[in-house]
Homo-oligomer: A and B are copies of this chain.
Amino acid sequence: MPDNATYHFVVADDHPLFRGALRQTIELLYPGAGIAEVGTLEDAAAELERHGEVDLLLLDLAMPGMRGFSGLMYLRAQYQSVPVVVVSASEDAGTIRRCMELGASGFIPKSLGIEVIREAVSQVMAGGSWTPPDVDLGEADSEASAMAQRLSTLTPQQVRVLMMLSEGLLNKQIAYELAVSEATVKAHVSAILQKLGVESRTQAVIAAAKIEQGQWLTAEAR
């Protein structure tokens, strides 16, 4: 086992059993690699924070803390150097397309077999991307898709601010939580509005909500 030991993975999934299965799959593929398991978005962020150079993040879409796609958006924005492969129980084209638009490097339906998963992971590790071959990512869904494009141009801090806007916080409150001045927050908000092509914080929140609202009703089932 050569420099596999320098590889570091993070497996983020709600379900401990599936998390373990993914770990084993990766261990077979990269013996000796470091693998961290987490069960919430918060833990995933903490893990990426602690360990600067993670080579791949396997991310469950339905994990606690991820409000639809916004969790993916957040992680992609905060840790741009970390490739993300979404692992999800759902596998409809719309979900997959949106994940890819938000910067995922791959999408693996949970229904797939181990061999396919292995192939997908190694393909992404080689710098490529991977989506199920039997899914057509054709049409663009115009609006939501264009919005996703714009969202991906936001800087990490801007994404943090946008998500706080989406919670209805005042500029002052955001400034406090981020430990910066209100003037800075205003600057960020202005930049966000321009990038999203909207004219008020409320419209920005609406636009973000349209993206982050997945199709499952995880918020209800909870």
Contacts and interface: CB of A to CB of B under 8 A. Distances in A.
Interface in A146-174: 165-168, 170
Interface residues of A, number: 24
Contacts of A217: 94, 215
Given A94-B220, A209-B206, A168 B198 contact: yes
A94 B216 CA distance: 13
Interface in A200-222: 200-203, 205-206, 209-210, 213, 215-217, 219-220
A134 interface: no
Contacts of A3: none
A200 B141 contact: no
Contacts of A94: 217, 220
Given A215-B217, A215-B220, A217-B215, A203 B141 contact: no
Interface of A: 94, 141, 144, 165-168, 170, 198-203, 205-206, 209-210, 213, 215-217, 219-220
